[in-house]
């Protein structure tokens, strides 16, 4: 373990915003806040837990440093992330983490500000999310030195798999033997207990039988019988994970992803999802990060309906924060970022139906973000395309149409338990590239254009974009992985041999080449355009079902209009009223003059700006 924090990479900011400033918490303010939260969590023991937590923080304090100076912005238009496994790229006789680092440096350079390396710890199942050792790097990937090298080149996101651990972990071995510390780390439950109210993300049984030295016991297992839920009603578990979180920051991580955090706290008689205690834990972790490592970021992973997902900003508990010049602004106190889980299925619905109405209505409903908060926008990841986020936004028959379309294009659907009712779709398992093979009418020649449109949309929305490695490489369905591994998510988790990928990237006649270079050039453009600062305001226009249209306006009044033809037919763009009678150029078309009477090609996107407002021209194909 290092005795001092490694060197860190701080993205250069291109423009400043008025409210995404690094706001370190004073020691007294932190202690007052922590005491209130611990009183809510452990009313009989909060003073003891607070003392133990202070001792733990004092141990880590010398090993941590601010990620960015106080008063600097947390993010900028240059923030663009990659989502990848540590071994998504492989080559003989080299640690996969080293291969990944070299590939990113060689092919993407400064296009990417950060990389989310999915769980790189020893694991027993679920491709890393059943963690055996939280403070070790899987030797099949590399070591902590490889992780620190990655973090020196760009920001690093690490997973804190906080809801559960592997049954092969030392904690679980302690539980089986009835010894500390793991003896009280898990949740025993009488199998006759009424748990019908508990919300389930899987169709498997909630309680899993386990043979211990004390006899047969039944343990809470939300996701699988190899992923045993941890008991956060025991403050020892909370303190353990605070130490793990700080250790990851010491190793160079800037962003910590709280995996499956919505299910963290259990209270019988409730749904056991989004409980007040769960939100209190997130608030405590946010306060610790802001206090000990200001500029580090906390992101929650909650694949749930949209309104529930938004709750992890803590919007119902806005506090007042002092800005420069003595002004006071509303600031939320939970996650810095939340995943925009609505975007993947709603974008898929829009581009396969040729109707932007639902996407426009949803985007119009998004609230003004409070200080220190933003969205992490994505369309694809290591998981499937979650459909719970569509609840309340699309009728069930539209969701079922997506299910049929995914089956038609070679994918699968995973189900979840729905107490008292039949199982319902939870996620669509398919490569996002192949999910856009066609429309509801079937396959057509527009797959590449349609896919590039989906990624351009994602790159343009308010927030920070995250591109899955298999989106950058236009990876098709990996049926061999499903057959080999026996689980549906393997369809979108291919492991590339680097030589094979390099050959595809070098050949101009491949989808991989066309998509990779088109997206890279869009990223090069985006990182130089101040209108794409995550804090730049977003105003959505309803211009009919054929187009998705919105403008981005930064704090200096610079404006950009995004417009996307979501159909497979040429369409004339109806320009919003206050953009009419302007001389516009299309930044995605070599800054050519925009002709409002000329039809836009199928799935053509535009970044329109006034002719007198030009960003650096970079050719985009």
Nearest to 333 by CA among 345, 350, 321: 321
Catalytic residue numbers read: 259
Q: What is the pLDDT of residues 93-151, one digit of tens each?
A: 999 999 999 999 999 999 999 999 999 999 999 999 999 999 999 999 999 999 999 99
Residue 8: band (very low, low, confident or very high) from pLDDT cuts 50, 70, 90 = very low
371 — pLDDT class (breaks 50, 70, 90):
confident
Averaged pLDDT score across all residues of the chain:
92
Backbone angles phi and psi of 306, in degrees to 5: -55, -50
Q: Please report, rounded to a whole number, the percentage of residues in the chain having pLDDT higher than 70.
A: 93
CA distance 456 to 518: 10
443 contact partners, CB below 8 Å, separation of at least 6: 409, 437
Please state which CATH number belongs to domain 537-610: 2.60.40.1180
Q: Is 390 helix (H, G, I), strand (E, B) or coil?
A: helix
Question: What's residue 318's pLDDT?
Answer: 59
pLDDT in tens, 26-66: 899 999 999 999 999 999 999 999 999 999 999 999 999 88
Average of per-residue pLDDT across 192-217: 94
For 391-404, the pLDDT digits (tens) are 999 999 999 999 99
pLDDT higher than threshold 90 for residue 323: no
- Residue 613 has a pLDDT of 55
Pair 292, 48: CB distance under 8 Å: no
* Beta bridge partners of residue 117, listed in sequence order: 84
Q: Are strands 81-84 and 114-117 parallel, antiparallel or unpaired?
A: parallel
Beta-strand relationship, 297-300 and 337-339 = parallel
Look at the alpha carbons of 113, 257, 300, 417 in this order and tell me if their dihedral is positive or negative.
positive
Tokens 């040429």: give the residue: 570
The residue among 620 and 59 whose pLDDT is bigger is 59
- Distance in angstroms between the alpha carbons of the first and the last residue of the chain: 47
CATH topology of domain 27-163+230-526: TIM Barrel (3.20.20)
Residue 387 and residue 394: Cα distance in Å, rounded? Answer: 10
Question: Cis omega before residue 552 (within 30°)?
Answer: no
Residue 14: pLDDT band (50, 70, 90) is very low
Q: How confident is the model at residue 325 (pLDDT cuts 50, 70, 90)?
A: very low
Task: Provide the 8-state DSSP code for 366.
Answer: P
User: CA 372 from chain center: how many Å?
Assistant: 17
Contact of 469 with 83, CB cutoff 8 Å: yes
pLDDT at 7: 35
* 438-459 pLDDT, tens digit each: 999 999 999 999 999 999 999 9
Percent of the residues in the chain that have a pLDDT greater than 90, as a whole number: 86
Mean pLDDT, rounded, for 170-174: 98
Residue-wise over 537-553: b if at least 16 C-beta within 10 A, else e? ebbbbebebbbbbbbbe
Q: Map out the domains of the chain as residue ranges.
A: 27-163+230-526, 170-229, 537-610
pLDDT tens digits, one per residue of 242-265: 999 999 999 999 999 999 999 999
What number is the average pLDDT over the span 491-513? Answer: 97
Closest CA to 107 of 495, 476, 502: 502
C-beta separation of 64 from 56 below 8 A:
no
Structure tokens at 28: 């007294």
SS3 160: strand
Burial 129-145 (b: 16+ CB within 10 A, else e): bbbbebeebbeebbebe
Binding residues for substrate: 126, 164, 257-259, 382-383, 489
Dig out the tokens for 81 from the structure.
Answer: 């992330």
Question: Residue 372: which region, alpha, beta or left (left: phi > 0; alpha: psi -120 to 50)?
Answer: left
What are the tens digits of pLDDT across the range 327-361? 445 567 899 999 999 999 999 999 999 999 999 99
Reply yes or no on whether the pLDDT at 287 is more than 80.
yes
The pLDDT of residue 368 is above 70: yes
Give the range among 101-105, 560-564, 587-591 with minimum mean pLDDT: 587-591
Residue list for the binding site: 126, 164, 257-259, 382-383, 489
């Amino acid at each position: 373990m290092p005795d001092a924090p490694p060197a860190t990479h701080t993205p250069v900011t291109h423009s400043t915003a008025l409210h995404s400033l690094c706001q370190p918490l004073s020691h007294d303010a932190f202690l007052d806040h922590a005491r209130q939260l611990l009183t809510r969590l452990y009313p009989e023991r909060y003073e003891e837990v607070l003392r133990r937590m202070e001792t733990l923080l004092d141990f880590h304090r010398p090993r941590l440093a601010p990620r960015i100076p106080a008063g600097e912005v947390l993010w900028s238009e240059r923030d663009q992330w990659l989502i990848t496994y540590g071994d998504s790229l492989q080559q003989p006789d080299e640690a996969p983490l080293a291969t990944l680092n070299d590939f990113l440096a060689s092919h993407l350079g400064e296009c990417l500000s950060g990389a989310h390396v999915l769980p790189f710890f020893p694991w027993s199942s679920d491709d890393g999310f059943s963690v055996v050792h939280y403070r070790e790097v899987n030797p099949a990937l590399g070591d902590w030195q490889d992780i620190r090298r990655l973090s020196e080149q760009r920001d690093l996101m690490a997973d804190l798999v906080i809801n559960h651990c592997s049954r092969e972990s030392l904690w679980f071995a302690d539980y089986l033997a009835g010894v500390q510390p793991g003896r009280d780390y898990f949740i025993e439950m009488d199998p006759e207990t009424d748990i019908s109210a508990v919300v389930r993300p899987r169709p498997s049984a909630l309680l899993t039988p386990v043979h211990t030295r004390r006899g047969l016991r039944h343990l809470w297992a939300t996701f699988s019988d190899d992923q045993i839920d941890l008991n956060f009603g025991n403050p020892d578990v909370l303190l353990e994970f605070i130490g793990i979180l700080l250790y990851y920051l010491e190793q160079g991580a800037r962003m910590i992803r709280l995996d499956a955090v919505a299910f963290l706290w259990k209270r019988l008689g409730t749904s056991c999802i989004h409980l007040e205690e769960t939100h209190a834990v997130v608030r405590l972790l946010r306060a610790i990060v802001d206090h000990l490592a200001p500029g580090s970021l906390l992101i929650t992973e909650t694949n749930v309906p949209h309104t529930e997902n938004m709750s992890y900003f803590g919007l119902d508990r806005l506090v007042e924060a002092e800005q420069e010049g003595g002004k006071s602004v509303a600031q939320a106190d939970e996650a810095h970022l939340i995943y925009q889980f609505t975007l993947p299925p709603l974008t898929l619905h829009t581009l396969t139906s040729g109707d932007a109405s639902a996407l426009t209505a949803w985007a119009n409903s998004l609230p003004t973000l409070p200080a220190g908060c933003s969205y992490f926008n994505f369309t694809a990841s290591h998981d499937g395309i979650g459909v719970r986020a569509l609840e309340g936004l699309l009728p069930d028959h539209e969701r079922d149409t997506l299910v049929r379309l995914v089956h038609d294009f070679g994918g699968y659907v995973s189900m979840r338990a729905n107490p008292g009712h039949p199982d319902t779709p939870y996620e669509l398992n398919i490569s996002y590239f192949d999910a856009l093979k066609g429309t509801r009418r079937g396959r057509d020649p527009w797959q590449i254009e349609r896919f590039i449109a989906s990624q351009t949309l994602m790159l343009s929305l308010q927030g920070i974009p995250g591109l899955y490695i298999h989106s950058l490489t236009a990876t098709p369905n990996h049926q061999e992985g499903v057959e080999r591994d026996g689980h549906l998510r393997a369809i979108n988790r291919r492991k590339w041999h680097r030589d094979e990928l390099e050959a595809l990237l070098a050949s101009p006649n491949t989808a991989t080449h066309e998509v990779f270079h088109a997206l890279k050039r869009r990223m090069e453009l985006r990182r130089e355009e101040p209108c794409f600062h995550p804090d730049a305001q977003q105003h959505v226009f309803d211009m009919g079902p054929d187009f998705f249209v919105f403008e981005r306006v930064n704090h200096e009044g610079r404006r950009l209009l995004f417009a996307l033809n979501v159909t497979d037919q040429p369409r004339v763009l109806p320009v919003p009223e206050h953009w009419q009678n302007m001389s516009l150029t299309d930044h995605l078309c070599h800054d050519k003059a925009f002709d409002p009477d000329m039809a836009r090609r199928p799935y053509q996107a535009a970044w329109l700006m006034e002719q007198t407002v030009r960003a650096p021209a970079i050719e985009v194909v």
